[in-house]
């Protein structure tokens, strides 16, 4: 994400994983909260003409950027695993789990499958539906009770 991608309270980007595969390029827009703005202020690159976070920079070639992003993702995943272990959480947690958790929490809080599909930039609604193997019995029971709460 570059500072130039931020417009007011949101930023827009194209997902790298699907950019070359999709015939029609879909812009992903993320709205910034006070918390995310604070993260940018605290940890963001002070050079406002570059990327927001100092993981890669504009002057690097694409291969160098790719390698640095992969290394950074590995670094983050390693630290997530350490935190998980220290807190008796599953040890196979990762940034990929964060994506799934966003989808699961969104659907549980009432977001539509279409909203989640768009937020994750899925090519088709069926891809989003594959994220959900189903809900636990407890969640089904709570939902059934809410339906009858007049």
Percent share of the chain, pLDDT over 90: 39
Q: What does the radius of gyration of the chain's CA atoms come to, in whole angstroms?
A: 18
User: What DSSP assignment string belongs to 77-124?
Assistant: HHHHHHHHHHTT--TT--HHHHHHHHHHHHHHTT--HHHHHHHTT-SS
**Rounded Cα gap, residues 31 and 35, in angstroms:** 11
Burial zone of 84 (CB within 10 Å; 0-12 exposed, 13-18 middle, 19+ buried) = middle
Q: Is pLDDT at 45 greater than 70 in this prediction? A: yes
| pTM beyond 0.75 | no
Query: For residue 73, what pLDDT is reported?
Result: 94
pLDDT of the residue at 13:
83
**Mind listing the pLDDT tens digit for each residue in 64-88?**
999 999 999 999 999 999 999 999 9
Contact predicate 111/117, CB 8 Å: no
Residues 113-138: pLDDT tens digits?
A: 888 888 887 878 888 877 665 556 66
């Amino acid at each position: 994400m570059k500072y130039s991608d931020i417009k007011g309270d949101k930023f827009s980007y194209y997902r790298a994983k699907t950019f070359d595969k999709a015939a029609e390029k879909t812009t992903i827009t993320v709205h910034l909260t006070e918390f995310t703005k604070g993260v940018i202020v605290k940890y963001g690159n002070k050079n406002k003409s570059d990327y927001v976070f100092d993981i890669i920079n504009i002057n690097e070639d694409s291969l160098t950027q790719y390698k640095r992003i992969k290394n950074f993702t590995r670094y983050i995943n390693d630290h997530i695993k350490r935190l998980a272990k220290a807190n008796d959480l599953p040890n196979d947690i990762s940034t990929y789990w964060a994506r799934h958790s966003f989808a699961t929490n969104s659907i549980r809080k009432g977001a539509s499958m279409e909203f989640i599909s768009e937020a994750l930039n899925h090519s088709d609604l069926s891809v989003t539906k594959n994220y959900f193997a189903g809900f636990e019995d407890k969640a089904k029971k709570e939902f059934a009770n809410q339906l009858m709460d007049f």
